[in-house]
Amino acid sequence: MLERLDSIYENDSFEIKGKPFYLPQGNEVELFEAAHENKLPVMLKGPTGSGKTRLIEYMAWKLGRPLYTVACHDGLSGNDLTGRYIIKGDEVEWIDGPLLMAVKNGGIVYLDEIVEARKDTTVVIHPLTDYRRYLMVEKLGKIFYAPDEFMLVISYNPGYQSILKELKPSTRQRFVSIDFGWPNEDLETQIVQQETGIEAETARMLVKAANKIRNLVQQGLEEGASTRELVYAGTLLKSGVPMKEALSSTLIEPLTHDSDLKRSIEEILKNYFTM
């Protein structure tokens, strides 16, 4: 028997209940707060696994707003964001999309990797990014005005996008941009240690190795080893996975298929760990 679909859309599913762990790299928290205060949309730029999603969660918790996260993909259309009619038995029922829910509930909507979505999503979000702050739902024939608490956040990784998938300047300039890089060594070590519970020395070695691997970006690697992957590595090590397997599955295999690059990364890791 199918569950009622509306149960997943209950508001408190989208609230961040516990304080997420987040160590600021710079003043991104203050900047985000200021943007929210002033009803400005935010664009988070940075490589994958650099802490964008964690910041959003943290800010949603801090600001006490529900968070609606949408993982954009090339099949995602404007209708997916606004809502759709579904057939339930003999009846047709309207289901709000995540964007409409956020607008209705004054939540924070986070469109992750917006450039992956179809172009019509840009048309849909445009009115929400300027003084108008409304969402037009054509299928309902209505316009929904966003409350002051509503905030639109998108993420965007310019590192390996193709020209076809670039955000137009007219879209980019509608947002306040917060740029994410890799945290400095001390901060990242703290993050890895906190997230995984491994020894500080091990965490530091992971970070040092990752910084060397990151030098290979644009020289063979599309993206460097992310903080997320370091956390995964630490997690596996903490749970007793042998060193070689833990590091290979998190810091080598996900980064590249090229055998020479993989070997090179392995040799870098050998400088810090006994594999």
Partner 1 sequence: MVGNSIKRIRGERKIRNLLRDDYEGAVLERFVSDLYPLLDSVGFDGLEEVVGLRNQIARYSGKTAVRVLDESPELIARLLTYGDKNLVMAVYGLCRQVAQDTIFVAARLLEESPDLVDRLFMQGDKDQVMAVYGLCSEVARDSWRIAARLLGMSPELIARVGYENLEKIAGLCSQVAEDHPAVAARLLELSPELIAKVGYEGFEEVAGLARQVAKEHRDVAVSLIEMSPELLDRVGYENLEKIAALSCRVATYSWKTAAQLLGTSPELIDRVGYEYLERVADFSIQVAQKDSFVAARLLELSPELIDRVGYECLEKIADLSSQVNEDDGFIAAKLLDESPDLIMELLRYGDDKELVTSVYDLCCQIAEDYNWRTAVRLLTESPDLFKRLHEYGDKELVKAVFGLCTQVAEYSGITAVSLFEESPAIIGRVGIDGLEKIAAQATELATLGEGRATSFVRGESTEFAAFIEANTHGLELRKVKPVLAHYLNALLGYRIELAEAEESSTDGTRIFLPERIQEFKEEERNFTLYKVMATHEEAHLEYGSFDFELTKAPDVAGMIRAKYGYGGDT
Residues engaged in binding partner 1 (CB under 8 A): 212-213, 215-216, 219-220, 260-261, 263-265, 267-268, 271
Q: Which two tokens stand for residue 48?
A: 């994958």
Q: Which two tokens stand for residue 193?
A: 């240690």
- Nearest approach, Cβ of 262 to partner 1 (angstroms)? 9
- Nearest approach, Cβ of 219 to partner 1 (angstroms)? 5
- Nearest approach, Cβ of 264 to partner 1 (angstroms)? 4
SS3 category, 96: strand
C-alpha–C-alpha distance, residues 95 and 29, integer Å: 33
91-96/83-88 β-pairing: antiparallel
- Nearest approach, Cβ of 223 to partner 1 (angstroms)? 14
DSSP 221: B
For residue 138, count other CB atoms closer than 10 A to its CB: 11
For partner 1, the closer of residues 134 and 272 by Cβ is 272
For partner 1, the closer of residues 3 and 260 by Cβ is 260
CB 67 within 8 A of CB 244: no
C-alpha–C-alpha distance, residues 86 and 139, integer Å: 12
For partner 1, the closer of residues 220 and 242 by Cβ is 220
For partner 1, the closer of residues 172 and 212 by Cβ is 212
- Nearest approach, Cβ of 44 to partner 1 (angstroms)? 26
For partner 1, the closer of residues 142 and 263 by Cβ is 263
- Nearest approach, Cβ of 214 to partner 1 (angstroms)? 8
Query: What interhelical angle do 200-214 and 259-270 show, nearest 10?
Result: 140
Residue of 144, 149, 81 lying closest to 111 (CA atoms): 81
- Nearest approach, Cβ of 256 to partner 1 (angstroms)? 10
Q: What are phi and psi of 144, to 5 degrees?
A: -115, 125
Q: What are phi and psi of 34, to 5 degrees?
A: -65, -40
Q: Give the C-alpha distances (Å, rounded to integers) separating 236 from 182, 189, 213.
A: 21, 16, 19
C-alpha–C-alpha distance, residues 60 and 14, integer Å: 10
